[in-house]
Amino acid sequence: MSIGDTTIRRCVVTGAAGFIGSHLVDALLAEGCFVVGVDNMSTGRAANLDGALQNERFRLVQASAADGSVLEPLIAESTEVYHLASYVGVKLASQTQSQTILNNLRAIDTILDLVGTYKPKFLLTSTSEIYGKALDTAEPGALLDEHADRVYGSTEVHRWSYAGIKAVEEFLTLAKCKEEGIHALIVRLFNVIGPRQRGLHGPVVPRFIEQALAHEPITLYGNGEQVRSFTFVADAISALCRLMQHPRSAGEVFNIGGYGPVTIRYVAETVVRLARSQSTVAYVPYEAVFGNHFEDVYRRVPSTDKLKTWIGYQAQGTFEQALQTTLEAHPDYVVAEVEE
């Protein structure tokens, strides 16, 4: 088997050293693909790719996804391109500088031009943030389907910069699909959790796990009654890989969700219980973390009916099992058990 073998899938994954990106790399390698990972390592971790780097079918390129001179030869030889590179997390989005915003826009522009030229399949990972506050004024029990209206706050609230950028990425991807006939699809991920995720930039589950294992107070922003849906990383990866191979997925948008709805308070209490932690819950005002210009979303829960119809998607196990697996994969978990 050689890289010149046209029967072998050749994949480019941007953001390959990130939490989700590294799991995608592993899945593609397990399917027998050649994979080139691209990551500027701003938030990615080389340790996430320890296994992949031992595989002769994987190569890591440390570069920006906006660098066309690096991306062009990689995409020219590819059959599939998965674009995951982006800043992520509410905390990081709330602190994002102009250069980061521009780099994200330059990256999607660069990649879509190259995809239009060389015609590999293209998958854009988008986000539940795309919907903004759409459910906060909706009827109780309402769900977000792929056609739901988007409701954002003021541009003075920097949190919405991420949602705005991902919306532009979606618009550009769908336009290229229509205008140039590329096979491009979009997946909107809802709060993916699992091994390798870290809480540095704000995701609640790894942050709660790290605090629980250290027996520190579990910090809940606001009142903890925010409602969310979570997705285990293995389910998310399985879904997007199957969608990429679906012959009719071009031009389509899919929600990928899993467990829920649950309140953030419930998540915190469950993590404490599973970790057998002595942590208590501490409520922290938003302004203490994000400053005065911040808005939260109080309810965000997807409809996954389209995903079920297209690929028979069903989240595996339960939310508590996903939390347990995520907890046990944390490097401090064994230490916490010994100290018990």
- Tens of pLDDT, residue by residue over 161-187, are 889 999 999 999 999 999 999 999 999
What CATH number did the domain enclosing 310 receive?
Answer: 3.40.50.720
pLDDT computed for residue 101 by the predictor: 86
pLDDT band at 96 (very low <50, low <70, confident <90, very high): low
Q: Dihedrals φ, ψ of 304, to 5°?
A: -115, 20
Across residues 157-164, what is the average pLDDT? Answer: 87
Cα–Cα distance for residue pair 129/116, rounded to 1 Å? 27
pLDDT of the residue at 6? 62
Torsion of CA 239, 242, 244, 249, to 10 degrees: -90
pTM: 0.93
Average pLDDT over residues 209-233: 95
pLDDT at 338 over 90: no
Q: What is the pLDDT of residues 228-265, one digit of tens each?
A: 999 999 999 999 999 999 999 999 999 999 898 999 99
Q: Which residue has the higher pLDDT, 104 or 292?
A: 104
214 belongs to a structural domain: no
Residue 332 lies in a domain: no
In percent, the amount of the chain with pLDDT more than 70 equals 91
Catalogue the active-site residues: 162
88 in any annotated domain: yes
Residue 334 lies in a domain: no
Residue 271 covered by a domain? no
pLDDT of residue 294 exceeding 90, the answer is: no
The pLDDT of residue 336 is 42
| Boundaries of domain holding 186 | 10-190+230-257+302-315
Question: HSE (CB half, 13 Å, CA atoms) of 142?
Answer: 15
Is 339's pLDDT higher than 80? no
Q: What is the pLDDT of residue 1?
A: 37
Q: Is residue 87 part of a domain?
A: yes
Q: Is residue 320 part of a domain?
A: no
| Angle (CA) 36 41 45, round 5° | 90
Structural domain contains residue 215: no
CA dist 201 and 12 (Å) reads 25
Mean pLDDT to the nearest integer, 300-304: 97
How many domains is the chain built from?
Answer: 1
Query: What is the percent of the chain with per-residue pLDDT over 90, rounded to a whole number?
Result: 78
Average pLDDT over the chain reads 91
Measured in whole angstroms, how far is the alpha carbon of residue 21 from the centre of its chain? 8
